[in-house]
Amino acid sequence: LKFILILIIFSKKSIAGNIIELYDSTYSARIERDEWGVPHIYGKRDSDVSFGLAYAHSQDDFQSIRDIILASRGILASVYGKEAAVNDYYVHLMDFWNNVNENYDEKIPIDVQNLCDGYASGINLFLKDNPSLKIKEFPILDGRDLIAGFSHRMPLMFGLDGIIKKISKEKSNSIGFIQNKIKSEIEPYKMVASNVFAVSPKRSSDGYTRLWINSHQPWEGPVSWYEAHLISEQGWDFYAGLFPGSPVPLVGHNKNLGWSHTVNSPDLVDIYKLTINPENSNQYWFEGFWKDMKVREASIKVKLFGLFSWTFKRDVKESIHGPVMEFDHGAYALRISSLKNLNFIEQWYRMGKAKNIKEFRRAMEIHAIPMFNTGYADRDGNIYYVYNAKIPIRDPRYDWSEFLPSESKNSLWYRYIPFNDLPQVLNPLDGFFQNCNSSPYLATGNRVDIPKVLPDWTGIEDHQTNRALRSLETFGIQTFITRNDFFDYKYDVEYSKESVMAYVRDKYIEDMKDNDQSILEEALLLIKNWNLKADSLNTAAALALIVLPNAFKIDDLKYDKNEITKNLYETINFLKLKFGRIDVPYGKVIRLVRGEKNLPLSGGPDLLRAIYFKKKEDVYQGIAGDCYFQAVEWGPKGEISAWSVHQYGSATSNKISKHFNDQSLLFSKHQMKQIRSLNDDQKIS
């Protein structure tokens, strides 16, 4: 009897081709996959659903989950070698695990612990059922791994790695505000961009409330989106977008409300240049005497080749300001917003469980998540936007854009700008808001709605991206927005005449007006007459968008006439060699390549239809931008409909699955699949 019970408790059994039942000693879940392979995960408790989510996501992309766990454990180099050692040093330097182990029981509520334990158990069961995927370095997981994983990723999401790289090379005094820049190759944890739009009943033509959940992320890797439908008897009924290693929705909607995030760039990191004791490198000058640093020894195991590895040891140091990094040109301490906070998962979990604006605001007031604009809409017709950020309260006597003096306690900060003091608006008078990685003060197009009251040292953006300009030129000027308008405007492929791209086109043509190289005449004329659109049939867009530099704001533009001209020659040669001409329809040049699918794309950098591309194997391929996104609407009686699409499919790394790329054609054609409808008995009573 005992043997039979063990078999029942520790089993996974298939009921049908697209349904599985999961059990272990604590959790149980049912995974049903729909025609698109999207997992609909059912459980009695939320923690059971999280258990099933981990298993389903592991089926579709276990390697990303595995690598995230290895990275947050600080053992990535033991699998990937010396190139990954910088990650493991980072884990030790930030002291993530001591913080988690010392505060987990006290700071993490029991229901969140259960949620995290459920997710960890789902991964453990997946590896038990798939032993060939188990590597000896991979640990048995518990809920602490999930908390540590978010602690590890969050500073990287707001650009800490870039700051560290800059300090290591810094020769001047200036640091400046950290701004997100689109690069030709997306870094592993880089948060790219995003759009969010909401329309209230007073602005829609039919009395509906509508929300675009439209993140722009890398199409592969640790911050690429995964879609799942979470259903529990404790109240979850959530269509979620989430990253590998997340037990909770990060964006999406339930029957009552939905939200999305866009990347913002508040100033969340300060750098202090330490005065080190010439007689003792572990001491720094503070408040009139030499103060000892906290010093710990970090052991980092590095794979060499085959079965051979090498463990090296390094001291990691900490001052009263924060973690310390030492270079030939000096020692620097980093003070980082929310570094010790462990409640990221809790906040997202409470947001997803909210049923109305009051509960959602209460969840946001946990104020653990240190960045991300948040746009919200609900079945009651409310729309809400907040520039969410965990911004330190700083002494205005210092220049916070530079390295800070470290000798006085006056330059330290301990408190944050309260959530309710952040730029935000509930139910703006015109019934519409947008954010496209742009100024919060122009979210509605009217600065009166969100006045600027916070100081410049907060780093809050005051610029407009092209996407923000175009959203105000489309959504913003339409008196009554129909459903068709709502969809058409999101897929807009035009640059504003006020955009950086328009400026660059005109400046380059002006700078080249005396050009006497006949080989460039046709290309320059094509660029000059380009109508600033990037639809798939446009015959000037490919040349223009490959050649001309772009940026979210003019201050970040890297304009070099000679570099552009060099790029123009190369692109002319490429287009003529591959297509026999330079006026090639855009969709023939910019492609979505996934398995056997090779499809045309429209859109481009900083367009509402955002596509970022890179040349790979003699083809310009999409690598980031529009990816997994949702459209949600609630009718006057609370009736709900929703649509979604993924740039690839639910099997995000399973190449043999039909769901590896089965949504790519929809994505290419600006189409979406319906995920909620009135015909599915989804009406809210």
CA separation, residue 25 to residues 48, 109, 118, 125 (Å): 11, 22, 11, 11
Give residue 176's region: left, alpha or beta (phi > 0; psi -120 to 50).
Answer: left
Structure tokens at 125: 């069961």
What is residue 168's three-state secondary structure?
helix
Mean pLDDT of the chain: 93
Task: Give the CA angle between residues 315, 316, 322 to the nearest 5°.
Answer: 155
What would the mean pLDDT of 600-609 be, rounded to a whole number? 98
Q: Sorting pLDDT into bands at 50, 70 and 90, what band is 170?
A: low
* Beta bridge pairs of residue 426: 384
Is residue 191 scored above 90 in pLDDT? no
CA 245 and chain centroid, separation: 14
Count of beta carbons in the 10 Å neighbourhood of residue 509 = 16
Predicted pLDDT of residue 147: 98
Q: What is the pLDDT of residues 389-445, one digit of tens each?
A: 999 999 999 999 999 999 999 999 999 999 999 999 999 999 999 999 999 999 999
Q: What is the pLDDT of residues 483-497, one digit of tens each?
A: 999 999 999 999 999
Predicted pLDDT of residue 504: 98
Q: What is the pLDDT of residues 5-33, one digit of tens each?
A: 333 334 454 444 689 999 999 999 999 99
What would the mean pLDDT of 113-139 be, rounded to a whole number? 97
Among residues 660, 635, 631, the alpha carbon closest in space to that of 491 is found at 631
Predicted pLDDT of residue 12: 52
Q: What's the rounded Cα separation, in Å, for the pair 103 and 249? A: 24
- Amino acid identity of residue 635, one-letter, is G
Q: What's the rounded Cα separation, in Å, for the pair 654 and 220? A: 12
Q: What's the rounded Cα separation, in Å, for the pair 531 and 552? A: 20
CA 640 and chain centroid, separation: 26
Predicted pLDDT of residue 181: 35
Predicted pLDDT of residue 21: 97
User: Alpha-carbon dihedral of residues 625, 626, 629, 633, nearest 10 degrees?
Assistant: 120
User: Is 238:352 a contact under the CB 8 Å cutoff?
Assistant: yes
Predicted pLDDT of residue 189: 76
Q: Sorting pLDDT into bands at 50, 70 and 90, what band is 187?
A: low
Backbone φ and ψ of 346, nearest 5°: -60, -45
Residues recorded for the chain = 685
Is residue 595 scored above 60 in pLDDT? yes
Please give the helix or strand (H or E) that residue 447 lies within, else none.
Answer: none
Q: What's the rounded Cα separation, in Å, for the pair 543 and 589? A: 9
Question: Where do runs of H (alpha helix) occur along 34-137?
Answer: 46-73, 77-80, 85-94, 96-107, 110-129
What would the mean pLDDT of 509-523 be, rounded to a whole number? 90
Is residue 176 scored above 60 in pLDDT? no
Among residues 93, 177, 160, 96, the alpha carbon closest in space to that of 394 is found at 177
Q: Sorting pLDDT into bands at 50, 70 and 90, what band is 587?
A: very high
Question: Which segment, 2-11, 32-41, 163-172, 179-188, is predicted with the most confidence on average?
Answer: 32-41
Q: What's the rounded Cα separation, in Å, for the pair 237 and 67? A: 29
Structure tokens at 573: 């040669």
Q: Could you say which DSSP state residue 109 is in?
A: -
Please count the helices (runs of H) and the strands (runs of E) in the chain: 18, 29
Question: Where do runs of H (alpha helix) occur along 592-685?
Answer: 664-668
Query: Distance from first CA to last CA of the chain, Å, rounded?
Result: 47
Predicted pLDDT of residue 13: 46
What is residue 364's three-state secondary structure?
helix
Q: What's the rounded Cα separation, in Å, for the pair 628 and 217? A: 9
Predicted pLDDT of residue 17: 61
Predicted pLDDT of residue 249: 98
Is residue 222 scored above 50 in pLDDT? yes
What would the mean pLDDT of 580-606 be, rounded to a whole number? 97
Predicted pLDDT of residue 364: 98
User: 522-530 — which CB contacts under 8 Å span 24+ positions?
Assistant: 522/582, 523/568, 523/572, 523/582, 526/582, 526/583, 530/505
Give residue 576's region: left, alpha or beta (phi > 0; psi -120 to 50).
Answer: alpha
What would the mean pLDDT of 132-157 be, rounded to a whole number? 96
Q: What is the DSSP string of 238-262?
A: EEEEE-TT-SS-SEEE-SSEEEEEE
Is residue 682 scored above 60 in pLDDT? no
Q: What's the rounded Cα separation, in Å, for the pair 263 and 440? A: 12
Is residue 98 scored above 80 in pLDDT? yes
* Beta bridge pairs of residue 598: 593
Count of beta carbons in the 10 Å neighbourhood of residue 79 = 19
Residue 318: half-sphere exposure toward Cβ, Cα within 13 Å: 16
Give residue 330's region: left, alpha or beta (phi > 0; psi -120 to 50).
Answer: left
User: Is 89:312 a contact under the CB 8 Å cutoff?
Assistant: no
pLDDT > 90: what percent of the chain?
A: 89
Predicted pLDDT of residue 178: 28
User: Helices 344-353 and 143-157 meet at what angle, rounded to 10?
Assistant: 100
Predicted pLDDT of residue 10: 42
Q: Which residue has the higher pLDDT, 295 or 169?
A: 295
User: Is 543:571 a contact under the CB 8 Å cutoff?
Assistant: yes
CA separation, residue 653 to residues 135, 619, 629 (Å): 18, 21, 19
Is residue 34 scored above 90 in pLDDT? yes
Q: What's the rounded Cα separation, in Å, for the pair 288 and 210? A: 59
Structure tokens at 205: 């033509």
Q: Which residue has the higher pLDDT, 559 or 680?
A: 559
Q: What's the rounded Cα separation, in Å, for the pair 68 and 51? A: 17
Please give the helix or strand (H or E) that residue 384 lies within, else none.
Answer: strand 383-386
